[in-house]
């Protein structure tokens, strides 16, 4: 996009857009009143993936929800407008999901930060925080800890916005116990695609509430969320245990997630090579004395690590060390490969920032991230693991492969998030995150293209053969999105026509095109 905006008043801008031929999508001038649209920035056209770079025509840095409502109601009122709008949280998507080519990016972090805690501890009521959607989870954590409280469900990395993760699901090692972050929201304030300002919950405007949670930014822009809080522990016992056998690893993971009264967090990862053992240990403050034999290039040996945690609630009748000992007796990890450390709750939740610092130092943070996350039915997890070994080569894989179980009954089927369709008897499903990095120094455009093609093929095979579903994923066309949603497509499309009837929101996902302009 070569055109540079020099104006700040949007009606002047629209006049320019109307006159300038590249902006054919705007057919008539619109009056946005006192809104300030700004010229595009590098940030607004990139994300963590560093794969897709779409330049918007302008950026809105809203100072209030009214700014967002004004923008969307003005666009929605003009049936001829083709301008699209994307909310951008922290821009940690992989495939341009928060971008809007030739449209308007709304930078949610500029909304004034509001965090109101309602502490109901001891009153037999639920404590919660009302928080503006552009807040980062790390800010939510710091504020709630001042009151001895914290949200129940997290993501591994906390420099993500509340609105961004609630538009996907928000999962981590607590999901087995409390469900994803979208299951831990009491109420939302949303500006719909029509610019209407709506408060919604399970009992009030519930259709919008369910649509927006996991809704990939398609139905409205979340401006505020009411997040459930609980009493925060002070300390956490953080444990890592190693396995040389996949079946024992998953059996023990399933054992741990079946003990929600004692266990507070469960994840796991694949140990492919020295690099993966070392990089996954950066945040873990214990000394890992595991020196595995990785075999040869022809006959590689891989290992697995379970990571789990037990919170110290400082209750007199609970001795955390005893709880951990009890649990460990029931596990079948490799002899002597059980490591335990005690850390503060804050450091535990913020553990990925240690990895970020280390990767930044090595120049490996701002690189391509062709990440792939999939939900895999339990019935297909062994086949998935085998397919994965055909897809990656252990000796040169750069990154981390996360594998951990989730419980289906912690997810609300009314919400928009898509899960594998499996028999009702399958209690568990797995999330597998293939979090690969590719440095531009060693992987050029052609190499990245090949990597993504290969990944696409792998994901499609896993969907077709095993019934796996992508999480945080990108689909190559609206047709593929339909396949992704399968039975849920009609509901998703109906909700779109209800809450964003002019198809203004979320163009970066590539799910919908406005049928009015489909053939032109």
What residues make contact with ligand FAD under the rule CB under 6 A?
Answer: 47-48, 86-93, 97-98, 108, 133, 155-157, 160-161, 163-165, 167-172, 216-217, 221-222, 472, 506, 508-509
- Name the minimum Å distance from CB 189 to ligand FAD: 10
Residues belonging to the chain: 520
Q: 435 near 364, Cβ under 8 Å?
A: no
Place of tokens 């969907």: 463
Q: What CA–CA distance (Å, rounded) separates 428 from 379?
A: 9
Place of tokens 């666009």: 75
CB-nearer residue toward ligand FAD: 91 or 420 = 91
Residue by residue, DSSP assigns 15-29 as HHHHHSGGGTT--S-
Q: What CA–CA distance (Å, rounded) separates 346 from 277?
A: 24
- Name the minimum Å distance from CB 221 to ligand FAD: 4
Out of 156, 264, 350, 355, the active site residue is 156
CB-nearer residue toward ligand FAD: 97 or 127 = 97
Tell me the β-bridge partners of 429: 377, 406
Q: 434 near 399, Cβ under 8 Å?
A: yes
CB-nearer residue toward ligand FAD: 13 or 171 = 171
Out of 109, 189, 267, 500, the active site residue is 267
Element (DSSP H or E) covering residue 487: none
Out of 47, 67, 92, 474, the active site residue is 92
- 267 flagged as catalytic: yes
- 156 flagged as catalytic: yes
Which tokens sit at 458? 């792998």
Q: Map residue 296 onto helix, strand or coil.
A: coil
Which tokens sit at 404? 């951990």
- 317 flagged as catalytic: no
CB-nearer residue toward ligand FAD: 324 or 406 = 406
CA Rg value for the chain: 23
CB-nearer residue toward ligand FAD: 50 or 488 = 50
Which tokens sit at 142? 């710091």
Query: Please, what's the largest Cα pairwise distance for the chain?
Result: 74
CB-nearer residue toward ligand FAD: 165 or 253 = 165
Q: Map residue 111 onto helix, strand or coil.
A: coil
Q: What CA–CA distance (Å, rounded) separates 90 from 98?
A: 9
Residues designated as active site: 92, 156, 267
């Amino acid at each position: 996009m070569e055109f540079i905006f020099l104006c700040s008043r949007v009606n002047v801008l629209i006049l320019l857009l109307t006159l300038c031929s590249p902006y054919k999508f705007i057919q008539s001038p619109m009056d946005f009143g006192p809104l300030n649209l700004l010229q595009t920035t590098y940030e607004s056209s990139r994300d963590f993936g560093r794969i897709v770079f779409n330049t918007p025509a302008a950026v809105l840095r809203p100072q209030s929800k009214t700014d967002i409502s004004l923008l969307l109601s003005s666009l929605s009122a003009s049936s001829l407008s083709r301008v699209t709008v994307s909310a951008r949280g922290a821009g940690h998507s992989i495939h341009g999901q928060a971008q809007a080519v030739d449209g308007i990016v709304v930078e949610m972090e500029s909304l004034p930060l509001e965090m109101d805690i309602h502490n109901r501890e001891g009153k037999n009521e639920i404590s919660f925080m009302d928080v503006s959607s552009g807040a980062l989870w790390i800010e939510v954590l710091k504020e709630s800890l001042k009151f001895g409280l914290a949200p129940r469900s997290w993501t591994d990395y906390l420099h993500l916005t509340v609105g961004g993760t609630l538009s996907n699901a928000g999962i981590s090692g607590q999901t087995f116990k409390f469900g994803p972050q979208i299951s831990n929201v009491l109420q939302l304030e949303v500006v719909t695609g029509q610019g209407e300002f709506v408060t919604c919950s399970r009992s009030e405007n519930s259709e919008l509430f369910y649509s927006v949670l996991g809704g990939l930014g398609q139905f409205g822009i979340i401006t505020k969320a009411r997040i459930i809080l609980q009493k925060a522990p002070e300390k956490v016992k953080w444990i890592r245990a190693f396995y040389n056998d996949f079946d024992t690893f998953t059996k023990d993971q399933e054992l741990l997630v079946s003990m929600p009264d004692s266990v507070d967090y469960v994840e796991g990862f694949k140990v492919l090579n020295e690099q993966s053992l070392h990089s996954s240990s950066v945040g873990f403050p214990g000394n890992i004395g595991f020196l595995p034999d990785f075999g040869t290039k022809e006959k590689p040996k891989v290992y697995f690590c379970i990571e789990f945690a037990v919170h110290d609630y400082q209750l007199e009748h609970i001795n955390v060390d005893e709880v951990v000992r009890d649990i460990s007796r029931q596990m079948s990890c490799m002899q002597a490969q059980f490591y335990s450390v005690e850390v503060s709750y804050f450091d535990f939740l913020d553990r990925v920032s240690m990895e970020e610092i280390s990767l930044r130092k090595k120049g490996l943070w701002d690189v391509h991230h062709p990440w792939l996350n999939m939900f895999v039915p339990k019935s297909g997890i062994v086949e998935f693991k085998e397919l994965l070994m055909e897809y990656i080569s252990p000796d040169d894989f750069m990154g981390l492969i996360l594998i951990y179980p989730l419980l289906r009954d912690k997810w609300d089927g009314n919400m928009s998030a898509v899960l594998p369709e499996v028999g009702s008897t399958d209690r568990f499903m797995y999330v597998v995150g293939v979090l690969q990095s590719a440095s531009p120094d060693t992987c050029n455009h052609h190499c990245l293209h090949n990597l993504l093609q290969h990944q696409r093929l792998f994901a499609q095979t896993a969907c077709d053969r095993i019934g796996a579903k992508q999480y945080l994923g990108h689909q190559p066309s609206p047709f593929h999105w339909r396949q992704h949603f399968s039975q849920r497509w009609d509901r998703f499309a109906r909700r779109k026509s209800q809450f964003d009837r002019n198809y203004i929101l979320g163009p970066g996902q590539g799910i919908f095109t406005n049928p009015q302009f489909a053939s032109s």
